[in-house]
Every structure is written in structure tokens, then in C-alpha cells.
């Protein structure tokens, strides 16, 4: 199997989905630029020039237009290069798209809307360009929310989203676009709502989202040198949530740490802690722990930004503390090579 980048996997999945279904079209800010969508739409523009087109910065109106198109049988994919501006489309997504089949009792067509949104740190992006609010979207029934952390899932979840008859939000982390992984050439789907045990272990369960999966893998490699065998669950989908995989792992390890790309309070890591407390209480050998970004808006200063986001070293140190162990994990973090443009 060949290795390709996360961005290339998205591109390949998009092409194969558009070949399969002529009702799919792509719009959003910069999707028809040569480096638009981090290169993930470049080939689609070449192959389907009338079905991939740029849109002005009108997030609310654009989402409403896409909802109308979806209700009429099209399968729009709307791209947001900065997730933060998706707030402007929340009314359309939450009060129309998510509730469509409930309001009209399935008598007004389906709502196969796909929204791709980019999150995560950049190079001093600051408080209004660095937010990851997947837990807010996942709060509302009627939408699926997925966070692919590997190239294989980037392709598979995108292809699943384009075959789903309800709104799907795909959250893509900036730091993932250049990572490489094994990806099948043929078309395939990754099931929405099914987590992936990406590393098996017996001592502690780490439930991670998005880029934190990659950081958790680095931490687990170093923890193994300290005699700690960490199991890592790439949650992939937070609505629907695969509770069974999480609880089965907790039953095996007795310890659980939830690592997320957003804040703790009312966030996804809190949902995992609540799940462990309510349905896995008798398996817990220590309190469930959460790890997320610092409890303040993202700073612009590079040293402060570096401290703001959790890293492999933070994960490893927390795991050791939970298990009553000591060890130096200060030098395990990988270099951040992200250079923009967004």
C-alpha cells in the first residue's frame, strides 16, 4: 500500500466521490485557488471545473444556499478555511440543516450537506483564528461531527460523508495536512460513529481527537520506554459517539485520559470523563482525567502559543502522574513545521 499525505487523501477521496455521484459540488472560500483547501481541491478543480467554484465571504448566506441545494437533491460540500467564521453559519446549520428531517417528518427530502472546516494552531493565529468548537456542533442532534486524524480516515470519512443523508461536519486540523500514511487507492468508506483503537495497550486508555491522536502516539512510544503500555483510541466521530469502544478499553486498563484540541469546560474531554463516571465507574482505578488547551483565548506570541497547546510531553507526564510513576518527558516533542498560509 502506498503512503500519501492527508491533503492528498482528501483530494483522492473527493475525486472518487465526485466520479461516483454527479450531484456533488464543492464551494467555499478559495476552493478553486491553486493552493486552496491546502491543495485538497486542486485536482477536483481540474477534473470538474463547473462543479468546484469559489464563494465570497458570506458564510451564513452560502450555507443557506447549500441547504436549499441539498433539499433539492444535490450534495453540496462547503469549505471553510477558518473554522472560526463558521459561527456566522450556525443559525443555518443548527436551526435548518440539523432539524430538517424532524421539522418536516421526512416529507421534504433529505439533507446531505457536508461542511469541511479547518481548525488548530497556525503561526500566531491568535484568539479568533485558532478555535476548535466541534463539541458545540456535536451538542445538537441531527448532525454528524467527525475529526479524521490520519490520511486513511481523511479519505474514508469524506467518502462516507458524501453518501450520508444528514448534515456531516468534517473538522480538519491544520497540522495534519502534511502527515503521511497508508491509504488504499480504491474507493472506500470509514464508518461514521465507530472509533478506532489505533494502539493497543493494557495500562491506560488515552482517548484522543484530531491532531492529539498524533501527539498521543508520540507520547505512547516514549511511555513504553518507561514500562507503560498505553492504549490509544482515535475517537474519529464525536456525534455519533462510540461509547462501547471507550468503555471496553477502560474495563481493560482501569485508567482513562481524554485529550482534545479545545477547552475542557463543556467540551468533548468532559463528555468522555462523564461517560467514564456514569457507565464505567466500577472499572476506574483512578479518577478520569482531561487534557485540553489552556483556559484562555489563544495567544499570538509564539512562546505563549507553544505553551497554550497540549503536546506529547504533556500527555506523557500526565499519564505517568496518573499511574504514580516518574520520568523525564521534556525532550520528546516534535518540531512544528507548519508555515501557513492560513
Alpha helix stretches (DSSP H) within 3-132: 6-20, 42-47, 59-71, 90-92, 100-103
Catalytic pick among 80, 129, 173, 283: 129
- Residue 113 and residue 79 in contact, taking contact as beta carbons nearer than 8 Å: no
Calpha distance 203→249 (Å, rounded): 10
Within 10 angstroms of residue 277's Cβ, the number of other Cβ atoms is 13
Could you tell me the maximum CA-CA distance found in the chain, to the nearest angstrom? 60
Residue 283 falls in the annotated catalytic set: no
For the record, the C-alpha cell of 255 comes out as 485508567
**Strand 168-173 versus strand 144-146 pairing type:** parallel
Calpha distance 219→332 (Å, rounded): 8
Helix (H, G, I), strand (E, B) or coil at 18: helix
Calpha distance 212→264 (Å, rounded): 14
DSSP labels for 163-199?
T-SS-EEEEEEGGGTT-EEE--SS---PPTT--EEEE
Supply the residues annotated as catalytic. 129
Amino acid at each position: 500500500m502506498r503512503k500519501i499525505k492527508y491533503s492528498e487523501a482528501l483530494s483522492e477521496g473527493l475525486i472518487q466521490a465526485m466520479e461516483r455521484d454527479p450531484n456533488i459540488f464543492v464551494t467555499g472560500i478559495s476552493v478553486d485557488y491553486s493552493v486552496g483547501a491546502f491543495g485538497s481541491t486542486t485536482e477536483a478543480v481540474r477534473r470538474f471545473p463547473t462543479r468546484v467554484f469559489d464563494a465570497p465571504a458570506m458564510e451564513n448566506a452560502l450555507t443557506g444556499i447549500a441547504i436549499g441545494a441539498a433539499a433539492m437533491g444535490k450534495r453540496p460540500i462547503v469549505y471553510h478555511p477558518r473554522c472560526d467564521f463558521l459561527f456566522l453559519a450556525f443559525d443555518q446549520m443548527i436551526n435548518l440543516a440539523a432539524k430538517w428531517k424532524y421539522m418536516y417528518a421526512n416529507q421534504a427530502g433529505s439533507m446531505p450537506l457536508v461542511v469541511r472546516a479547518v481548525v488548530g494552531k497556525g503561526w500566531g493565529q491568535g484568539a479568533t483564528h485558532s478555535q476548535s468548537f466541534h463539541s458545540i456542533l456535536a451538542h445538537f442532534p441531527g448532525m454528524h461531527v467527525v475529526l479524521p486524524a490520519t490520511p486513511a480516515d481523511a479519505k474514508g470519512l469524506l467518502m462516507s460523508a458524501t453518501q450520508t443523508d444528514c448534515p456531516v461536519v468534517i473538522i480538519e486540523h491544520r497540522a495534519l495536512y502534511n502527515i503521511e500514511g497508508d491509504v488504499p487507492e480504491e474507493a472506500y468508506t470509514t464508518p461514521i460513529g465507530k472509533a478506532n483503537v489505533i494502539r493497543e495497550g493494557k495500562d491506560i486508555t488515552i482517548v484522543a481527537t484530531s491532531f492529539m491522536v498524533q501527539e498521543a502516539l508520540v507520547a505512547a512510544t516514549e511511555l513504553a520506554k518507561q514500562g507503560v503500555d498505553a492504549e490509544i483510541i482515535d475517537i474519529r466521530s464525536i456525534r455519533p459517539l462510540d461509547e462501547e469502544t471507550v468503555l471496553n478499553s477502560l474495563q481493560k486498563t482501569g485508567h482513562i485520559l481524554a485529550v482534545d484540541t479545545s477547552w475542557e469546560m463543556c467540551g468533548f474531554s468532559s463528555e468522555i470523563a462523564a461517560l467514564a463516571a456514569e457507565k464505567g465507574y466500577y472499572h476506574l482505578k483512578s479518577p478520569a482525567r482531561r487534557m485540553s488547551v489552556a483556559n484562555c483565548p489563544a495567544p499570538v506570541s509564539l512562546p505563549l502559543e507553544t505553551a497554550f497547546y497540549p503536546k506529547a510531553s504533556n500527555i506523557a507526564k500526565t499519564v505517568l502522574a496518573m499511574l504514580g510513576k516518574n520520568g523525564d518527558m521534556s525532550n520528546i516533542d516534535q518540531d512544528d513545521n507548519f508555515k501557513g498560509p492560513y
